[in-house]
Protein backbone atom coordinates (compact mmCIF):
# COMPACT_ATOMS: atom_id res chain seq x y z
CA UNK A 1 0.00 0.00 0.00
CA UNK A 2 1.41 3.35 -1.06
CA UNK A 3 0.18 6.70 0.17
CA UNK A 4 1.19 10.18 -0.94
CA UNK A 5 0.77 13.51 0.77
CA UNK A 6 1.29 16.72 -1.20
CA UNK A 7 2.95 14.66 -3.94
CA UNK A 8 5.53 13.06 -1.63
CA UNK A 9 5.53 9.52 -0.17
CA UNK A 10 3.86 9.36 3.23
CA UNK A 11 7.02 7.98 4.86
CA UNK A 12 8.93 11.18 4.12
CA UNK A 13 10.04 13.07 7.23
CA UNK A 14 7.77 16.10 7.72
CA UNK A 15 9.49 19.26 8.82
CA UNK A 16 7.44 20.07 11.91
CA UNK A 17 8.90 20.89 15.31
CA UNK A 18 8.36 18.00 17.67
CA UNK A 19 7.60 15.61 14.78
CA UNK A 20 11.14 14.82 13.58
CA UNK A 21 10.56 11.10 13.98
CA UNK A 22 6.87 11.04 13.00
CA UNK A 23 5.60 9.63 9.71
CA UNK A 24 2.36 11.10 8.43
CA UNK A 25 -0.55 8.89 7.31
CA UNK A 26 -3.79 10.52 6.12
CA UNK A 27 -5.93 7.76 7.70
CA UNK A 28 -4.19 7.83 11.10
CA UNK A 29 -6.71 8.63 13.83
CA UNK A 30 -5.88 11.05 16.64
CA UNK A 31 -6.02 9.66 20.15
CA UNK A 32 -5.01 10.66 23.66
CA UNK A 33 -5.44 7.24 25.25
CA UNK A 34 -2.23 6.17 27.08
CA UNK A 35 -0.63 2.96 25.85
CA UNK A 36 -0.93 1.14 29.18
CA UNK A 37 -4.67 1.81 29.40
CA UNK A 38 -5.18 0.50 25.87
CA UNK A 39 -3.18 -2.65 26.71
CA UNK A 40 -5.19 -3.32 29.88
CA UNK A 41 -8.46 -2.81 28.03
CA UNK A 42 -7.35 -5.11 25.20
CA UNK A 43 -6.54 -7.86 27.72
CA UNK A 44 -9.97 -7.39 29.34
CA UNK A 45 -11.62 -7.66 25.92
CA UNK A 46 -9.64 -10.85 25.32
CA UNK A 47 -11.01 -12.25 28.58
CA UNK A 48 -14.48 -11.32 27.32
CA UNK A 49 -13.81 -13.48 24.27
CA UNK A 50 -13.14 -16.46 26.57
CA UNK A 51 -16.40 -15.83 28.43
CA UNK A 52 -18.32 -15.54 25.17
CA UNK A 53 -16.74 -18.78 23.91
CA UNK A 54 -17.86 -20.60 27.06
CA UNK A 55 -21.43 -19.30 26.69
CA UNK A 56 -21.70 -19.92 22.95
CA UNK A 57 -20.16 -23.36 23.37
CA UNK A 58 -22.80 -24.30 25.91
CA UNK A 59 -25.55 -22.89 23.69
CA UNK A 60 -24.24 -24.94 20.75
CA UNK A 61 -24.19 -28.06 22.92
CA UNK A 62 -27.78 -27.47 24.05
CA UNK A 63 -28.93 -26.94 20.47
CA UNK A 64 -26.60 -29.61 19.03
CA UNK A 65 -26.01 -27.07 16.26
CA UNK A 66 -23.02 -24.66 16.37
CA UNK A 67 -24.20 -22.69 13.33
CA UNK A 68 -27.62 -21.85 14.75
CA UNK A 69 -25.94 -20.95 18.04
CA UNK A 70 -23.56 -18.59 16.23
CA UNK A 71 -26.42 -16.98 14.27
CA UNK A 72 -28.34 -16.47 17.53
CA UNK A 73 -25.29 -14.92 19.19
CA UNK A 74 -24.61 -12.53 16.29
CA UNK A 75 -28.33 -11.81 15.88
CA UNK A 76 -28.86 -10.83 19.51
CA UNK A 77 -25.82 -8.60 19.31
CA UNK A 78 -27.24 -6.94 16.19
CA UNK A 79 -30.57 -6.30 17.95
CA UNK A 80 -28.77 -4.72 20.92
CA UNK A 81 -26.67 -2.48 18.67
CA UNK A 82 -29.72 -1.48 16.61
CA UNK A 83 -31.49 -0.32 19.77
CA UNK A 84 -28.34 1.50 20.88
CA UNK A 85 -28.16 3.31 17.52
CA UNK A 86 -31.80 4.34 17.88
CA UNK A 87 -31.04 6.23 21.09
CA UNK A 88 -27.43 7.35 20.38
CA UNK A 89 -27.23 10.00 17.69
CA UNK A 90 -23.40 9.96 17.30
CA UNK A 91 -23.70 6.33 16.24
CA UNK A 92 -26.30 7.17 13.59
CA UNK A 93 -24.21 10.12 12.40
CA UNK A 94 -21.28 7.69 12.14
CA UNK A 95 -23.18 5.63 9.56
CA UNK A 96 -23.56 8.74 7.38
CA UNK A 97 -19.84 9.46 7.73
CA UNK A 98 -18.93 5.89 6.74
CA UNK A 99 -21.13 6.12 3.64
CA UNK A 100 -19.51 9.46 2.77
CA UNK A 101 -16.07 7.91 3.30
CA UNK A 102 -16.94 5.07 0.92
CA UNK A 103 -18.13 7.51 -1.74
CA UNK A 104 -15.02 9.68 -1.33
CA UNK A 105 -12.67 6.69 -1.43
CA UNK A 106 -11.30 7.19 2.08
CA UNK A 107 -12.63 3.71 2.88
CA UNK A 108 -12.44 0.79 0.49
CA UNK A 109 -15.67 -1.21 0.17
CA UNK A 110 -14.06 -4.33 1.65
CA UNK A 111 -13.21 -2.45 4.86
CA UNK A 112 -16.85 -2.59 5.96
CA UNK A 113 -16.97 -6.40 5.63
CA UNK A 114 -15.06 -7.20 8.82
CA UNK A 115 -18.01 -9.22 10.11
CA UNK A 116 -17.32 -11.87 7.46
CA UNK A 117 -14.14 -12.79 9.34
CA UNK A 118 -16.15 -13.40 12.49
CA UNK A 119 -18.59 -15.56 10.56
CA UNK A 120 -15.74 -17.53 8.95
CA UNK A 121 -14.21 -18.09 12.40
CA UNK A 122 -17.43 -19.75 13.58
CA UNK A 123 -17.79 -21.83 10.41
CA UNK A 124 -14.17 -22.94 10.80
CA UNK A 125 -14.89 -24.13 14.32
CA UNK A 126 -17.61 -26.40 12.97
CA UNK A 127 -15.49 -27.66 10.07
CA UNK A 128 -12.17 -28.33 11.76
CA UNK A 129 -12.29 -28.15 15.57
CA UNK A 130 -13.74 -31.64 15.81
CA UNK A 131 -10.99 -33.06 13.58
CA UNK A 132 -8.08 -31.14 15.08
CA UNK A 133 -9.22 -30.93 18.68
CA UNK A 134 -9.65 -27.65 20.54
CA UNK A 135 -5.94 -27.40 21.40
CA UNK A 136 -4.59 -27.62 17.85
CA UNK A 137 -7.43 -25.43 16.60
CA UNK A 138 -6.41 -22.75 19.13
CA UNK A 139 -2.72 -22.98 18.20
CA UNK A 140 -3.54 -22.54 14.50
CA UNK A 141 -5.84 -19.59 15.24
CA UNK A 142 -3.19 -17.82 17.34
CA UNK A 143 -0.51 -18.47 14.71
CA UNK A 144 -2.73 -16.84 12.09
CA UNK A 145 -3.55 -13.91 14.37
CA UNK A 146 0.12 -13.31 15.18
CA UNK A 147 1.36 -13.46 11.59
CA UNK A 148 -1.60 -11.38 10.44
CA UNK A 149 -0.87 -8.79 13.13
CA UNK A 150 2.73 -8.48 11.94
CA UNK A 151 1.73 -8.13 8.26
CA UNK A 152 -1.16 -5.71 8.80
CA UNK A 153 0.96 -3.49 11.04
CA UNK A 154 3.77 -3.45 8.48
CA UNK A 155 1.48 -2.38 5.62
CA UNK A 156 -0.41 0.10 7.79
CA UNK A 157 -3.88 -1.38 7.33
CA UNK A 158 -5.06 -0.35 10.80
CA UNK A 159 -6.00 3.19 11.89
CA UNK A 160 -2.60 3.72 13.54
CA UNK A 161 -0.63 3.58 10.28
CA UNK A 162 2.49 1.47 9.67
CA UNK A 163 4.26 0.04 12.69
CA UNK A 164 7.84 -1.22 12.32
CA UNK A 165 8.78 -4.81 13.08
CA UNK A 166 11.07 -4.15 16.05
CA UNK A 167 13.06 -6.86 17.88
CA UNK A 168 10.78 -6.52 20.92
CA UNK A 169 7.64 -7.02 18.85
CA UNK A 170 9.13 -10.10 17.17
CA UNK A 171 10.16 -11.51 20.55
CA UNK A 172 6.71 -10.80 21.98
CA UNK A 173 5.06 -12.60 19.07
CA UNK A 174 7.33 -15.65 19.48
CA UNK A 175 6.67 -15.73 23.23
CA UNK A 176 2.92 -15.63 22.59
CA UNK A 177 3.16 -18.63 20.26
CA UNK A 178 5.20 -20.53 22.85
CA UNK A 179 2.71 -19.50 25.54
CA UNK A 180 -0.33 -20.85 23.72
CA UNK A 181 1.53 -24.03 22.78
CA UNK A 182 2.58 -24.54 26.40
CA UNK A 183 -0.91 -23.81 27.73
CA UNK A 184 -2.53 -26.49 25.55
CA UNK A 185 0.42 -28.91 25.43
CA UNK A 186 -1.42 -31.59 27.39
CA UNK A 187 -4.16 -31.68 24.76
CA UNK A 188 -2.04 -31.63 21.61
CA UNK A 189 -2.46 -34.49 19.16
CA UNK A 190 0.49 -35.68 17.11
CA UNK A 191 -1.32 -37.04 14.06
CA UNK A 192 -2.79 -33.82 12.69
CA UNK A 193 -3.97 -33.31 9.07
CA UNK A 194 -2.03 -30.22 8.00
CA UNK A 195 -4.53 -29.32 5.28
CA UNK A 196 -7.32 -29.04 7.84
CA UNK A 197 -5.11 -26.77 9.96
CA UNK A 198 -5.22 -24.21 7.14
CA UNK A 199 -8.87 -23.45 8.00
CA UNK A 200 -8.25 -22.10 11.52
CA UNK A 201 -4.96 -20.52 10.41
CA UNK A 202 -6.79 -18.50 7.76
CA UNK A 203 -9.48 -17.72 10.34
CA UNK A 204 -6.74 -16.31 12.59
CA UNK A 205 -5.50 -14.13 9.73
CA UNK A 206 -9.10 -13.03 9.30
CA UNK A 207 -9.40 -12.01 12.94
CA UNK A 208 -6.38 -9.70 12.57
CA UNK A 209 -7.80 -8.26 9.34
CA UNK A 210 -11.19 -7.77 11.04
CA UNK A 211 -9.63 -5.82 13.91
CA UNK A 212 -7.68 -3.61 11.52
CA UNK A 213 -10.59 -2.73 9.21
CA UNK A 214 -13.01 -2.28 12.12
CA UNK A 215 -10.55 0.24 13.49
CA UNK A 216 -10.51 2.06 10.15
CA UNK A 217 -14.32 2.15 10.09
CA UNK A 218 -14.36 3.47 13.66
CA UNK A 219 -11.86 6.18 12.74
CA UNK A 220 -14.00 7.28 9.78
CA UNK A 221 -17.27 7.09 11.72
CA UNK A 222 -15.96 8.67 14.90
CA UNK A 223 -17.94 6.06 16.83
CA UNK A 224 -17.03 2.54 17.96
CA UNK A 225 -20.77 1.80 18.09
CA UNK A 226 -21.02 2.36 14.33
CA UNK A 227 -18.10 0.01 13.65
CA UNK A 228 -19.58 -2.70 15.87
CA UNK A 229 -23.01 -2.34 14.24
CA UNK A 230 -21.56 -2.81 10.76
CA UNK A 231 -19.54 -5.81 11.95
CA UNK A 232 -22.60 -7.54 13.43
CA UNK A 233 -24.83 -6.66 10.47
CA UNK A 234 -22.48 -8.31 7.96
CA UNK A 235 -21.64 -11.24 10.25
CA UNK A 236 -25.28 -11.96 11.05
CA UNK A 237 -26.26 -11.94 7.37
CA UNK A 238 -23.47 -14.40 6.54
CA UNK A 239 -24.28 -16.71 9.45
CA UNK A 240 -28.00 -16.75 8.66
CA UNK A 241 -27.12 -18.06 5.19
CA UNK A 242 -24.85 -20.73 6.74
CA UNK A 243 -27.55 -21.62 9.31
CA UNK A 244 -30.20 -22.05 6.62
CA UNK A 245 -27.87 -24.22 4.53
CA UNK A 246 -27.03 -26.42 7.51
CA UNK A 247 -30.70 -26.67 8.51
CA UNK A 248 -31.64 -27.77 4.99
CA UNK A 249 -29.19 -30.68 5.32
CA UNK A 250 -29.35 -31.61 9.01
CA UNK A 251 -32.65 -30.11 10.13
CA UNK A 252 -33.46 -27.56 12.82
CA UNK A 253 -32.76 -27.93 16.55
CA UNK A 254 -35.61 -29.61 18.38
CA UNK A 255 -35.93 -26.88 21.01
CA UNK A 256 -34.41 -23.65 22.27
CA UNK A 257 -32.91 -23.71 25.77
CA UNK A 258 -34.71 -21.64 28.39
CA UNK A 259 -31.71 -20.47 30.45
CA UNK A 260 -31.38 -16.70 29.82
CA UNK A 261 -27.60 -16.60 30.34
CA UNK A 262 -27.08 -18.75 27.25
CA UNK A 263 -28.15 -15.77 25.14
CA UNK A 264 -25.62 -13.29 26.56
CA UNK A 265 -22.89 -14.10 24.03
CA UNK A 266 -24.07 -11.44 21.61
CA UNK A 267 -24.11 -8.73 24.28
CA UNK A 268 -20.55 -9.61 25.33
CA UNK A 269 -19.47 -9.59 21.69
CA UNK A 270 -20.86 -6.05 21.26
CA UNK A 271 -18.58 -4.85 24.04
CA UNK A 272 -15.30 -6.40 22.90
CA UNK A 273 -15.81 -5.80 19.16
CA UNK A 274 -16.46 -2.09 19.79
CA UNK A 275 -13.64 -1.98 22.35
CA UNK A 276 -11.11 -3.55 20.00
CA UNK A 277 -12.04 -1.04 17.28
CA UNK A 278 -11.32 1.68 19.84
CA UNK A 279 -7.89 0.51 21.08
CA UNK A 280 -6.37 -0.87 17.85
CA UNK A 281 -5.42 2.71 16.90
CA UNK A 282 -3.24 2.95 20.01
CA UNK A 283 -1.55 -0.45 20.14
CA UNK A 284 -1.70 -1.77 16.58
CA UNK A 285 -2.98 -5.07 15.21
CA UNK A 286 -0.12 -7.27 16.47
CA UNK A 287 -0.16 -6.07 20.07
CA UNK A 288 -3.96 -6.26 20.08
CA UNK A 289 -3.68 -9.90 19.00
CA UNK A 290 -1.12 -10.64 21.75
CA UNK A 291 -3.32 -8.92 24.35
CA UNK A 292 -6.21 -11.00 23.10
CA UNK A 293 -4.23 -14.21 23.58
CA UNK A 294 -3.23 -13.20 27.11
CA UNK A 295 -6.79 -12.18 27.95
CA UNK A 296 -8.29 -15.35 26.53
CA UNK A 297 -5.88 -17.57 28.49
CA UNK A 298 -6.39 -15.58 31.69
CA UNK A 299 -10.16 -15.53 31.22
CA UNK A 300 -10.33 -19.24 30.45
CA UNK A 301 -8.15 -19.99 33.49
CA UNK A 302 -10.41 -17.89 35.73
CA UNK A 303 -13.52 -19.62 34.39
CA UNK A 304 -11.98 -23.06 34.91
CA UNK A 305 -11.19 -22.14 38.51
CA UNK A 306 -14.50 -20.43 39.32
CA UNK A 307 -16.83 -22.53 37.15
CA UNK A 308 -15.01 -25.83 36.59
CA UNK A 309 -16.12 -28.10 33.76
CA UNK A 310 -14.47 -31.25 35.07
CA UNK A 311 -11.10 -30.79 33.35
CA UNK A 312 -8.41 -30.09 35.98
CA UNK A 313 -6.27 -26.95 35.71
CA UNK A 314 -2.66 -28.01 35.20
CA UNK A 315 0.66 -26.23 35.55
CA UNK A 316 1.04 -25.84 31.78
CA UNK A 317 -2.16 -23.78 31.60
CA UNK A 318 -0.97 -21.48 34.38
CA UNK A 319 2.56 -21.21 32.99
CA UNK A 320 1.29 -20.48 29.47
CA UNK A 321 -0.99 -17.74 30.79
CA UNK A 322 1.85 -16.06 32.68
CA UNK A 323 4.12 -16.29 29.64
CA UNK A 324 1.41 -14.72 27.45
CA UNK A 325 1.24 -11.72 29.79
CA UNK A 326 5.04 -11.44 29.64
CA UNK A 327 4.79 -11.52 25.82
CA UNK A 328 2.46 -8.51 25.92
CA UNK A 329 4.85 -6.62 28.19
CA UNK A 330 7.82 -7.37 25.91
CA UNK A 331 5.97 -6.37 22.73
CA UNK A 332 4.88 -3.11 24.38
CA UNK A 333 8.47 -1.90 24.87
CA UNK A 334 9.19 1.14 22.71
CA UNK A 335 12.27 0.21 20.68
CA UNK A 336 12.15 3.12 18.25
CA UNK A 337 11.21 6.78 18.50
CA UNK A 338 9.59 6.66 15.05
CA UNK A 339 5.83 6.81 15.15
CA UNK A 340 2.90 7.70 12.94
CA UNK A 341 0.63 10.66 13.41
CA UNK A 342 -2.47 12.16 11.89
CA UNK A 343 -1.92 14.89 9.30
CA UNK A 344 -2.01 18.48 10.53
CA UNK A 345 -3.16 21.58 8.66
CA UNK A 346 0.38 22.40 7.55
CA UNK A 347 0.93 18.98 6.01
CA UNK A 348 -1.28 19.71 3.01
CA UNK A 349 -4.06 17.62 1.60
CA UNK A 350 -3.74 14.04 0.50
CA UNK A 351 -3.65 14.13 -3.27
CA UNK A 352 -3.05 10.48 -4.03
CA UNK A 353 -3.75 7.26 -2.18
CA UNK A 354 -3.95 3.61 -3.11
CA UNK A 355 -4.78 0.72 -0.86
DSSP 30-75: P----HHHHHHHHHHHHHHHHHHHHHHHHHHHHHT-HHHHHHHHHH
Mean pLDDT of all residues in 209-218: 95
By CB atoms closer than 10 A (0-12, 13-18, 19+), residue 108 is middle
By CB atoms closer than 10 A (0-12, 13-18, 19+), residue 248 is exposed
- Where along the chain do its domains lie? 33-333
pLDDT at 27: 55
Separation CA 352–CA 340 (nearest Å): 18
pLDDT at 22: 47
Say which residue, 247 or 26, is predicted with more confidence: 247
Three-state SS at 227: helix
**Hey, which bits of 78-205 come out as E strands?**
none
pLDDT at 61: 87
Mean pLDDT of the chain: 83
pTM for this predicted structure:
0.80
pLDDT at 190: 59
Q: pLDDT band for position 344 (50/70/90)? A: low
Say which residue, 292 or 313, is predicted with more confidence: 292
Q: Which helix (H) or strand (E) segment is 22 a member of?
A: strand 22-24
Q: Are 216 and 160 in contact (CB under 8 A)?
A: no
Q: Are 191 and 132 in contact (CB under 8 A)?
A: no
Partners of 8 in beta bridges: 5
Phi, psi of 67 (to 5 degrees): -75, -40
126-178 per-position pLDDT tens digit: 777 767 776 677 888 888 999 999 999 999 999 988 988 899 999 999 999 99
Pairing label, strands 2-5, 8-9: antiparallel
In 328-351, which positions are buried (b, 16+ CB within 10 angstroms) versus exposed (e)? bebbbeeeeebbbbbbeeebeebe
Q: Are 251 and 123 in contact (CB under 8 A)?
A: no
pLDDT > 70: percent of the chain:
82
Say which residue, 275 or 349, is predicted with more confidence: 275
By CB atoms closer than 10 A (0-12, 13-18, 19+), residue 109 is exposed
Three-state SS at 328: helix
Q: pLDDT band for position 81 (50/70/90)? A: very high
Q: pLDDT band for position 13 (50/70/90)? A: very low
Separation CA 276–CA 116 (nearest Å): 16
pLDDT at 17: 44
105-123 per-position pLDDT tens digit: 999 999 999 999 999 988 8
Amino acid sequence: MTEFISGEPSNAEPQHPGHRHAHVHPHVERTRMPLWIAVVLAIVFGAGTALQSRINGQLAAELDDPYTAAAISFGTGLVILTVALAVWRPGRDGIARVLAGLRAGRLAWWMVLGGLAGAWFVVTQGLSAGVLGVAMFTVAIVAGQTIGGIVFDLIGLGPGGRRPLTPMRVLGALLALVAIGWAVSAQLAHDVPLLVMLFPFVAGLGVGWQQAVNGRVKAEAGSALTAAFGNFLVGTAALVVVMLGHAAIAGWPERLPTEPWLYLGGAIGCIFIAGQALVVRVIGVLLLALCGVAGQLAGALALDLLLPTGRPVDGATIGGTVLAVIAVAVASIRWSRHRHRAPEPGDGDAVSRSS
